[in-house]
Amino acid sequence: MTSAISTLSRIGQSVAAALMAAMFLTFVVQITVRYTARLPGVAEAIPLLDPSLYGWTLEFCLLLWVWLVFWGNAFVVREQDHVRFDILYLAVSPRLRRGFAILAGLVIAAGLLASIGPTWEKFHILRLKKTATLSHVFGDWIRMRDIYAVYILFLGAVGLRYLWAVWSAFRHGVDGQDTQA
């Protein structure tokens, strides 16, 4: 089980790294075109450097950023990497801490998982909307729903992670302590 989780974690990190690399390369293209187009005669001499061909790069960077944020938070960011306000949590007994973890985990998981259906219904209209510039480069198949579909993946993955945390707290306690006393 640990090997499978480790492999899935590496896959999640690899996808996030690929998204960052694609965003960086797109950004480099933007900068190159922006500054070479200002040089006299370059855009005329090298038609490939015509800035009007690269309007898509901004929207592509935004698409990659949205995917990177939600993908990273769903599959890369670890629980201990989150900022916590845990003064009250750490001040109570391990048994009450366990109750806090279970209650909070159930509420968060229920909220995230329950919002998948209504969110998908709102995304239904986005299947009709095309992107402003990406369809010129990638074709007519990319719709706004596809760009934001990662949010549905985020809701499901994080909801399931919280259910796993609840199960773990129920079975083993919190902070590695068994609270069966």
Q: Phi and psi for 140 in degrees, rounded to 5?
A: -85, 5
Lowest mean pLDDT among 33-37, 73-77, 101-105, 167-171: 33-37
C-alpha–C-alpha distance, residues 17 and 82, integer Å: 20
> How far is Cα 64 from Cα 21, in angstroms, rounded to an integer?
10
> Angle at the Cα of 148 (from 133 to 138), degrees rounded to 5?
30
Confidence of residue 176 (pLDDT cuts 50, 70, 90): low
Tokens of 167: 């199960």
Q: What is the pTM of this model?
A: 0.83
Mean pLDDT, to the nearest integer, of 37-66?
85
**Which of 87, 67, 91 minimizes the C-alpha distance to 15?**
67
Q: Check: CB of residue 130 under 8 Å from CB of residue 142.
A: yes
Cα–Cα distance between 135 and 139 in angstroms, integer? 4
**Domain range list for the chain:** 1-77, 81-181
